[in-house]
Structure 1
Amino acid sequence: MKFKQIILFALILSSTGFSVAQEPVKINIDFSSKIGEMKPIWAWWGYDEPNYTYMKDGQKLLTEIAALSPVPVYVRAHSLLVTDEGLRAALKWGSTNVYTEDDQGNPIYDWTVIDQIFDTYIQRGMKPFAQIGFMPKALSSKPEPYRHFWKPGAKYEEIYRGWAYPPKDYEKWAELVFQWVKHSVNRYGKEEVESWYWEVWNEPNIGYWQGTTEEYIKLYDYAADAVKRALPTARIGGPEGTGPGWDKAAEFLTTFLNHARNGTNYATGKKGTPLDFITFHAKGSPKLVDSVVQMNMGAQLNDVEKGFEIVASYPEFKNLPIIIGESDPEGCAACSEADYPHNAYRNGTMYSSYTAAAFARKFELADQYGVNLLGAVTWGFEFENQAWYAGFRDMATNGVEKPVLNVFRMFGMMSGQRVKVSGELNHNHESIIKNGVKGDKNDINALAAMDKNSATVMLWNYHDINEKMGETSSVKLSLAGLPKNKLLVQHFSVDQEHSNSYNVWLNMGSPQNPTASQIKELEKAGQLKMASSPFWINADQSEFDLQLDIERQGVSLLKISW
């Protein structure tokens, strides 16, 4: 395209909220160069406290999450089999009281609460990523003490009580699983339950499982056999261990896969065990440096890479779906900012820019290893009756959505095929794993997709260091492969001024008892906003340039329709 034409487009965009800057970062997007499906790997959520599901703010947030996704969202929750007569919800605690026994040791099944949880999902078009765990008190080999009373600031290991122990009777454990799946089929129908994913336990290579690795494998075998007996077409997987970037976690995943391939099944005596998908976790590791939050996306991506590398080394498993069962900037959603200052990234735009950049690199790593990445679970929901913007890892506070949820709204607008992105780019997954995003080189990059009647470009300006907020960088987008047509351009943004309820709350004076009108204003600010009015471009050729500014820790989405 000629220089004058480039300037003309830049001036048009400047008048609609874009601007022209000196020495912009150059990013090239070729919409004719397809590199893979734009899978909705982001449409997965999870949380510790299952009873929040059907509470006021829980239902509200689930409705919003379901609405932002063009495909069914899968939801994973802990403690679906935990015993607690009071059914109390608390941080890192939940229960359904689904299994008790009479005086003679006969099982008593009560599906009331678990149905309430799953009904809440199904009513919104969502689907359970059904976690088979934890151990009911009547089945625990060490039932006392059973319940924990953890709170932020306490030692994490205090949560591991009687619910974390192996069953005293594996046959009864299997029968519980069988009855649960059978009940689900009777309630929701065979076709619906066939669309779910069933998994066994959570992070059984650390304190969540107070047994050995072999005892977990036995637990899995009995559960998987029970699932398949109740519904042969059901999907079962695991082992849901911690990040394989840790050597012991990698060894655990390998041990499990070896057993699934050719081990002797504890339940059936046959070779191997059912495995329809593979799960592991991936976490970052932020810290406080000179009172400033410093993220470590490299640690999370290293977990992803090591997990993919292990799965890819098994020819019989390489094409199985992979679900990263928890995929987050760090490890404890219920650990608040007040007690853990390195979590200060959570309320504002650092969490949202991190999310955009991290998900793009999961795609890159899946492409590199040729594995089938199906989903990456964001372990962040909401916490009922907590202080406003308390710094939990959540999507909303008191029913008001945080900036990070708007990045998922952007993802929900991206479909079709991912396309090639190139240019003067400082970072990719390899450089971030090795060195992070530090110094004067921001991670300014893009993820782009092409569908039948639209194209989308997600841009971010990410840095590991939480400072210099509001500082902008100019980006020059060279777009190729679009139709010669009249193009409608929409520009959405998450930054200090757009789609940011937290900044609005701060400007209100950080009220802990906001008025009804303030809450209404915050709710409006929590929605995804355009950075400018939509505008048209008459594209007489398939290549042209656009130029815009993007704030540090900001995320933009361009949607081009015809």
Structure 2
Amino acid sequence: MELQINTSERTRTIHNFWNHIHFHPTDAIEDDWGQRILNRIHEDGIAGTVRMYTMLEDVVTIAADGTLQYDFTENDIRMDYMVGKGFNLLLSYNYIPACIASDPNETSSQSKNTTRYKGKLIITSPPKDYALWEEICRVYTDHIVKRYGLPCVSKWYLQCYNEPDIPPYWMKNEPDMQKRAAEYCRLYDAFERGIRSVSEDLCIGGPTLAGHLDFFEYFLRHIRDNKRQLNFICFHTYGTSPSMINSKELPINAANSVDRIMKCSSLARQYGFGDCPLIIDEWGASSCGFFNMEECPELIFRENEVYSAYFIKMITLYEKLQLPIDKLMICLSGQHEMKTDFSGFRGFFTLNFYPKPIYNAYVLAAKLGSQKLAYTAAENDNLSVLPAISEDGRITVLLSYSSADFSEELPDLPLDIQFTGISSLREAKLWRIDREHANAYRAYERLGAPNQPTAKQICDITDTGTLTAESCSFKESLHLIMQNNSVALVEIC
């Protein structure tokens, strides 16, 4: 198959909406294992903005005289680290501290185990007094502005709560969606007042939905009719779920979330928020990052070349459709649940810190240039192509080859890439993610899937799982073979 790249024709600016993450659990940021992951993410430059929880339940208690008390020790350890690494932040103001909850016994774990990380639970009941929630939002915001400075914090995104449209996070015992939405709007109003009392220059948003459009519409109507501040809109998109994968009802497919994004965007325009940035602050090919192969054997795709192919196919599709996405954040949940290396949790690294193919795909996607180049190719629904050029003239071509649901065994695809506008001998780098390249899981398989790998095996798997570039010289065309469920990046300096 021939692919022709016109290096002289720039078609539009590419906004890198995809190199952002939600790091979970937030309280692993102060732990060695959490910082090891974040250090690598920082070194490889794959995340511009990182979402984290404020974990107000760790900050706020109440004194004997009824006044609120604040201990920012753990918060400051986490945020000092993140700010020190230069990450831009999206802060999710949650959860409800026990001391202000209307029912502190209304709890949820929303995890694989009976509790969350470090034995914690979520209180899902609303505050007993919204004035107390407003004060907490004000004091917390005032603290971070004083500690990190308004010029820094004004670049952050401050959002109200997490997935209030589903019972495990908000009003667990209330089945009526309208009542939950109305109560969340009270929560948002107090959140807005508390933050705006500190500064009008801060960026605030919501509703951080799991996906219920009726809840979303209720929220937008409330914001419009009451003239509340809304600087960005955030929601989550998961392509399917473990139960729907198991039942064969909805296999993984990079197009599964397109309809939801379009509907959310349409509703935003309908209520006058068409220019409001849309942030997908959690995405995954499947929901339930805290589930693994014990609940759904097919979640093995999170460990191998399928997930990297899915990611590149998805962002190429979103860019082609020009979906109005400002930021797209993979949710790295389940990381703390690992007991073995390749068990199907939704993270970037395994227990022995092997980089997964999905991580390597993020590294490659970060290399893409900022101007899209024109190209022509024969119609092939299985091949995704995103060619670009950077301001310094570096050319990149990002490729993904797979069937729609990644289950079909496609034949190898010979690909001849011809570059018009290049007439002299040039040096190129070829980066690959497939069964043989940058794939720790397949290296682990070839070693017999050892439960307790030796030091040498760990080194071998790590080396094989790490991205490496093949260098070559070419003049006008370059040849490569794409395997099934593979990713490639051609980089011409």
What aligned pairs does 1:454-493 form with structure 2 within 5 A after superposition?
A: 454-467=394-407, 471-480=411-420, 482-493=421-432
Deviations 1:57-100 (A, max 9, x none): 21111112122227x62111346223xxxxxxxxxxxxxx1111
The answer to whether the 8 Å contact 1:42/1:375 transfers is yes
Aligned to 1:324: 280
1:425 aligns with 2:379: yes
What aligned pairs does 1:184-333 form with structure 2 within 5 A after superposition?
A: 184-207=144-167, 208-210=169-171, 212-243=180-211, 249-261=212-224, 263-264=225-226, 272-285=227-240, 287-288=244-245, 294-314=251-271, 316-333=272-289
Aligned to 1:515: 454
Aligned to 1:343: 299
1:80 aligns with 2:55: yes
Aligned to 1:90: none
C-alpha separation in 2, matches of 1:386 and 1:537 = 46
Aligned to 1:268: none
Aligned to 2:329: 377
1:36 aligns with 2:12: yes
What aligned pairs does 1:166-185 form with structure 2 within 5 A after superposition?
A: 166-185=126-145
Match of 1:394 among 347, 357, 375: 347
Cα drift, residue 198 of structure 1: 0.6
Deviations 1:204-245 (A, max 9, x none): 1112221611111111111122112212211111111123xx
Match of 2:472 among 535, 551, 557: 535
The answer to whether the 8 Å contact 1:490/1:560 transfers is yes
1:217 aligned partner, one-letter code: C
Aligned to 2:480: 548
The answer to whether the 8 Å contact 1:68/1:408 transfers is no
TM-score (norm 1): 0.79
Aligned to 2:363: 409
Distance 1:163 1:31, change over 3 A: farther
Distance 1:256 1:293, change over 3 A: closer
Q: Which moved more, 1:203-212 or 1:446-455?
A: 203-212
1:45 aligns with 2:27: no
C-alpha separation in 1, matches of 2:422 and 2:4 = 16
Q: Which moved more, 1:354-363 or 1:456-465?
A: 456-465
1:102 aligns with 2:63: yes
Deviations 1:455-507 (A, max 9, x none): 10011112244556684112233433x45444221100001111111111122
The answer to whether the 8 Å contact 1:281/1:303 transfers is no
The answer to whether the 8 Å contact 1:292/1:466 transfers is no
Distance 1:162 1:475, change over 3 A: closer
Distance 1:276 1:145, change over 3 A: closer
Query: Partner of 1:122: helix, strand, or coil?
Result: helix
Distance 1:512 1:293, change over 3 A: farther
Match of 2:88 among 127, 131, 139: 127
Give the % identical residues. Answer: 24
Cα drift, residue 320 of structure 1: 2.3
Match of 1:450 among 386, 389, 413: 389
C-alpha separation in 2, matches of 1:321 and 1:129 = 13
Query: Partner of 2:287: helix, strand, or coil?
Result: coil
Distance 1:291 1:164, change over 3 A: closer
Distance 1:102 1:343, change over 3 A: same
The answer to whether the 8 Å contact 1:279/1:325 transfers is yes
C-alpha separation in 2, matches of 1:38 and 1:499 = 26
Query: Partner of 1:453: helix, strand, or coil?
Result: coil
Distance 1:137 1:459, change over 3 A: same
C-alpha separation in 2, matches of 1:47 and 1:553 = 26
Distance 1:328 1:151, change over 3 A: closer
Structure 1 residue runs of 5 or longer lacking an equivalent are 1-23, 83-96, 244-248, 265-271, 428-442, 539-543
TM-score (norm 2): 0.89
1:454 aligned partner, one-letter code: R
Aligned to 2:175: none
**What is the total number of aligned residue pairs between the two structures?**
478
Deviations 1:245-295 (A, max 9, x none): xxxx2232222222222x23xxxxxxx111111111111116557999942
Cα drift, residue 417 of structure 1: 1.0
The answer to whether the 8 Å contact 1:27/1:425 transfers is no
Query: Partner of 1:230: helix, strand, or coil?
Result: coil
1:513 aligned partner, one-letter code: Q
RMSD over aligned CA atoms reads 2.7
